[in-house]
Amino acid sequence: MKKRRNRPILKRIILILMIGTSAALQYSAARYISVAGVFPNFMLVAAVTAGYTLGSETGGFTGLCLGFYQDAQSGKILGMYALLFLYAGVIAGLIPKKSNASDLPMALIAVYALTVLSEGATYLFAYVIPIMRAGLIPGADILRAVGTVIVPAAFLNVVCSIPYYFILRPGARTDASDGNRTGDEIQPAESF
């Protein structure tokens, strides 16, 4: 019988590739996937999906990295998206999970809810902090932004999160005692 070993290097490589791919998709392909002028937020999707499938620490780290990148690209307030994505990844990791086929709907609900919260917080900050209003709130109406931007963006993020989920799900570790996924380690392949 072969000794089981952890593969933290594989987990790091997958995360680095996911972070790079999400950043590249956000600033190159997102404009072609827009629906009614609303763009998917691949970075938020990656943070939430990493948190849900791999645990809150990994989701928080992924969210922090991608949030700082989005802060640097937007040029508004450094650290705002980093904190929003960090909290989204951590909260997604705290959602109870079962390792069965019913896991995907819960992951999609998590992406939807955390997208609404994150985008809502962004618009709330833009309403409170005048420097952020440029380009975010059409007509400075938060309620109109909920119907025209936040909810459609959440639905678009849910659709975009499905491939992320299936890429990251094999890396989630299952606790054999109760069937709950903990997400702290990559599960090694079973030996024959």
**Model pLDDT, residue 177:** 39
**Model pLDDT, residue 35:** 80
**Model pLDDT, residue 174:** 47
Task: State the burial class of residue 100 (Cβ atoms within 10 Å of its Cβ: 0-12, 13-18, 19+).
Answer: exposed
**Model pLDDT, residue 173:** 46
**Model pLDDT, residue 141:** 67
**Angle of the 42-54 helix axis to the 8-24 helix axis, nearest 10:** 160
For the entire predicted model, the pTM comes to: 0.78
**Model pLDDT, residue 3:** 52
Which ranges of the chain have pLDDT less than 70? 1-7, 98-102, 131-141, 170-192
Rounded Cα distance, 50 and 61, in Å: 9
Task: State the burial class of residue 164 (Cβ atoms within 10 Å of its Cβ: 0-12, 13-18, 19+).
Answer: buried
Rounded Cα distance, 148 and 85, in Å: 22
Report the helix count and the strand count for the chain, using DSSP H and E: 7, 0
| Domains observed in the chain | 8-171 (1.10.1760)
**Model pLDDT, residue 134:** 61
**Model pLDDT, residue 178:** 43
**Model pLDDT, residue 7:** 65
Look up residue 122 and give its two tokens: 């962004």
- Asked if 97 contacts 49 with a C-beta cutoff of 8 angstroms, the reply is no
